[in-house]
Every structure is written in structure tokens, then in C-alpha cells.
Structure 1
Amino acid sequence: MRVRKFLRAPFLLPVLLAAAVSSCHGDKDPDPSCQEQPRNDSGCYHIYHPVCGCNGKTYGNECEALAHGITSYQSGECSKSK
């Protein structure tokens, strides 16, 4: 019985730590899918196929949107009424 409890501890500790760390981060942005987190590995092609990012900005193509950290977007330009 003691051996089983001892073997469970190494597996339980990472789970508890992950839960504690994830609960420390508050929800600062109501739409977390629209956080801009630019990537450094942007080697985008120069073909204009516009996409509208969730932040209301038009990007030249999907690659450019992803390079600016936008992971949620729709095909086509953003409406200019915003």
C-alpha cells in the first residue's frame, strides 16, 4: 500500500503544479483568441489574398496575419465602417 502511494506522488505533483499556474493567470482580454503575439519566423510570400484579423485590421494574407500573432481571421478585407 505504501509503495502505491509513493509511486503516485511523482505523477500527481506536476498535475497540481500545472493547475496552480494556470489559475494564477487572470482573463485580461475577453477574446483570448485575438491576442497579438508576433512571431520572429515570418518569411511570408508576397501574394495579396487579404484576410480580416479578429482585431479589425486587414492583412495581406494568412501568413502575414499569423506573423503578427493573429490566429483568428476571416477571408477578405475588413469592413471600413469600424
Structure 2
Amino acid sequence: MISLVFVSLLFFQCQEEQKPHDCIDQSKINDYGACYDIFAPVCGCDGNTYSNDCYAQNAGVLSFTQGACSEKN
């Protein structure tokens, strides 16, 4: 019985949606990082659209997908 409860809790923990603050690494934020000005939007895991992957990485975003966030909906 205890193992069933444990497995259930583990399952629900894995299903938890990633929160925006969980996908930003504060130590990777670089306000002075130089980025190229080519518009190739990416959607960050925080739900924000960045001009390109460089801007997302300088914002400390840990994962992103190609395309603007509004295009994903």
C-alpha cells in the first residue's frame, strides 16, 4: 500500500508543469552580452518571445523553441 502511494506521488510530481521562474537561471543572466541583430524569434520556457536565441540565453532562459510564443498557441 505504501509503495502505491509513493508511486502515485512520484507520478504527480513528474506531471507538474514547469513554472516560469523554474526555467530562468539567474547566474546566466548577462545584461551586457552582445547579440546579433538577426530577427529569428524564439519562445522561452517563461512564455516570453525573444528576438533570437542569443537574447534568450542572455536573459538566463534555460530552454526555448523556434518561433514567437503567440505562434505556439
User: What TM-score results when the alignment is normalised by the length of structure 1?
Assistant: 0.53
Kindly indicate whether residue 34 of structure 2 is the aligned counterpart of residue 34 of structure 1: no
Equivalent of residue 52 in structure 1, options 18, 31, 43: 43
CA displacement, residues 33-79 of structure 1 (integer Å, 9 cap, x when unaligned): 61242124511000000000000000000000000000200000002
Letter matched to residue 77 of structure 1: A
Equivalent position SS for 1:66: helix
Q: What do you get for the CA RMSD once the two structures are aligned?
A: 2.7
Q: Give ranges in structure 2 of 5+ residues lacking alignment.
A: 1-17
Counterparts of 1:72 and 1:58, CA distance in 2: 12
How many residues are treated as equivalent by the alignment?
54
> Greater relative contact order: 1 or 2 (C-alpha under 8 angstroms, separation 6 or more)?
2
The answer to whether the Cα contact below 8 Å between 2:21 and 2:46 also exists between their aligned partners in 1 is no
The answer to whether the Cα contact below 8 Å between 1:53 and 1:72 also exists between their aligned partners in 2 is yes
Q: 1:70 aligns to what? A: 61
Letter matched to residue 33 of structure 2: S
Q: Highest Rg: 1 or 2?
A: 1
